Structure 1
Amino acid sequence: MSFLLEQLTVRHLAPGRAAAQAPAALHALDLAIAPGEQLALIGPSGAGKTTLLATLACAHRPAGGRFEVFGQDPWALSQGARHRLRARLFLAPQTPPLPPRQRVVTAVLAARLPHMSLWQAFASLLHPADPDAAHAALVRFGLGDKLYARVDRLSGGERQRCGLARLLLSSAEALLADEPISALDPALAQHTLAALQAEARSRNAALVCSLHQVDMARAHFPRLVGLRAGRIVFDAPREAVTDAMIAALYENDSVQPLPAQPHESPDRIAVGACF
């Protein structure tokens, strides 16, 4: 099992409050994700989607319950062992932390930093070690002409795809993406999701994406997990998720999701966070 959560609770620490008194961001979640499984997290803003992804990436320590990654409790490991475990995960945040004056080639190759020595990492800043690999990754996301551009010359959508190109150069066994298509037009969004899913299939990696576009989630992902107020409202195959369930998930939410479309099989891409 890539991830196993049982009665998992996560609290956001607040100034002046003890950990036990901090508000719960995730409440008693039960969730199991197998290698190669692909699922979408959907729900209104503030539902806990980003917190759940960060928890899966071992960035938030749970306040209670059981949490295992690849059969291990990351918070029972030594710091060094937990760092090695994190290297098997890739978290792509919605806004990738790309240094603005850095060249795209360097930003993409940063995916390999967890496996480099300090000297190798420093040398790569001056002379990118494998620009061909970076270019191939960028091509998959339609950014082949941006290899030596500066990050601050990219549009928001281009930065987002640049951050995702890092994923292709990682050796991660589980891929986590937070709103990976939020800054993309519909055609690019289709292309980007197809690239992510094809990569996950090629390495039999679990893929977990949070999405606000419900129609895209229903069209592309075989399993949907609906979150609201830090709780799982439903966890079901997409065929079992009805329009009424979606409406109830977003009930009274000020920002409604895009209307659901008929289910479609994901198109395969034509090949042309790490943290």
Structure 2
Amino acid sequence: MTIQLHNISVHHSGAARSTLALRELNLSVAQGEQLALIGPSGAGKTSLLHTLACALTPVSGSLNIFGGDPWQLSSSERHALRTRLFLAPQTPPLPPRQRVVNAVLAGYLPQWSVWQAMRSLVRPITPEIAYEALSRFNLQDKLYARVDRLSGGERQRCGMARALVSKAEVFLVDEPLSALDPTLALQTLAVLQQEASKRHATLICSLHQVELARAHFTRIVGLRDGRIVFDAARQDVSDTMIAALYRNSEKPELPEADSTDAVLVPNAVPPRC
């Protein structure tokens, strides 16, 4: 198994220490597996992704990634582990004056030295790789555009291009389609899944678009109140199960598109200790 969680409990980031985001959660994910996380807002999807990225420390239970507990490693060893993980938060910062080429090449940061990173800011080291990644999202013409000149949907796809540049073996992606119209959402999801399959990487993706999750992922994990309500193959996930998962919450749906996409930005590099 690539990932194993046993009775994991995690506090909300920045919240009162008595507030738990995850409660005695158990989950196992094999290398190369692709699964969707669904559930109402506040269910714990983002906290789970950040826990897997070693950005949140469990308060109880055990976490095993690539055969070891990341919190038993030294800081440098944990940083090395994070080079194998790619976290794409829903709304991470992208420096507004940064060029798209630099934003995409930031996917290399876990592997680069400080000198390489600084050098690339002045003169991008491998712009052709950024161009190729952007082209898979039809953004190649934005290579040297400034990030603050992009629409929300373009920023989101820029973040996904960064994932393609990384050397990650696990993609942890939080709401990658929230700023995209239905056509772009399908294209973006297809590229992520194709890339994960190509490199036999694990893909764990949180989605509010339940029908996309059911149509494109073979395994679906439903979370509510920090607990797993169900973990099942998609053919075993019934409408009744979905209704129970979202009871008394807003019905999930595919967002409508507008002429400017939307306003959300993704990013990539898991934080260091």
Is the TM value for this pair above 0.5?
yes
| 2:106 pairs with 1:117 | no
In the TM superposition, 1:47-86 aligns within 5 A as 47-86=43-82
Q: Which residue of 1 aligns with 2:6?
A: 6
CA distance in structure 1 between the aligned counterparts of 2:28 and 2:90, rounded to whole angstroms: 24
Q: Is the contact made by 1:13 and 1:23 (CA closer than 8 Å) also made in structure 2?
A: no
The residue correspondences of 1:214-225 to structure 2 (distance < 5 A) are 214-225=210-221
* Structure 2: tracts of 5 or more residues without a match: 255-267
Quick one: which of 253, 260, 265 aligns to 1:258? 253
Give how far 1:258 is off: 2.4
Q: Percent of aligned positions with the same letter in both sequences?
A: 63
Aligned to 1:196: 192
1:178-199: CA deviation from partner (whole Å, max 9, x where unpaired): 0000000001000000000000
Q: 2:209 aligns with which of 213, 217, 229?
A: 213
Native 8 Å contact 2:37 2:221 kept in 1: yes
- Matched residues in 1 for 2:13 and 2:155: separation? 30
Whether contact under 8 Å (2:44, 2:223) holds in the other structure is: yes
Superposition deviation, residue 67 in structure 1: 0.4
Taking the TM superposition and a 5 Å limit, the aligned residue runs for 1:106-145 are 106-145=102-141
1-structure distance, mates of 2:40, 2:109: 34
Normalized against structure 1, the TM-score is what? 0.91
1:134 and 1:54 map into 2 onto residues whose CA distance is 26
1:13 Cα deviation (Å)? 6.0
Q: Secondary structure at the match of 1:274?
A: coil
For the aligned residue pairs, the C-alpha RMSD in angstroms reads 1.2
- Displacement over 4 Å in runs of 4+: none
SS at match of 1:225: strand
Residues 192-249 of structure 1: CA distance to partner in whole angstroms, max 9, x if unpaired? 0000000000111110000000000000000000000100000000000000000000
1:94 to 90, 96, 101: 90
TM-score (norm. length: structure 2): 0.92
Aligned with residue 269 of structure 2, among 251, 264, 274: 274
Check 1:32–1:119 CA distance in 2 against 1; reply closer, same or farther (3 A cut).
same
Query: Does 2:7 match 1:24?
Result: no
Deviations 1:44-79 (A, max 9, x none): 000010000000100000000010111110000000
The Cα shift of 1:118 comes to 1.1
Matched residue of 1:115: which SS? coil
Count of aligned positions? 257
Is contact 1:96–1:163 with CA below 8 Å preserved after alignment? Answer: no
Shift of the alpha carbon at 1:14?
A: 5.8
Q: Tell me whether 127-136 or 110-119 shows the greater mean CA deviation.
A: 110-119
| Residues 96 and 160, structure 1, Cα contact 8 Å, conserved in 2 | no
**2-structure distance, mates of 1:13, 1:105:** 31
Q: Is the 8 A contact 1:42 1:214 kept in 2?
A: yes
The match for 1:247 among 238, 243, 247 is 243
Corresponding letter in the other structure for 1:12: H
Q: Which letter does structure 1 place at the counterpart of 2:126? A: D
The AA in structure 1 aligned to 2:81 is L
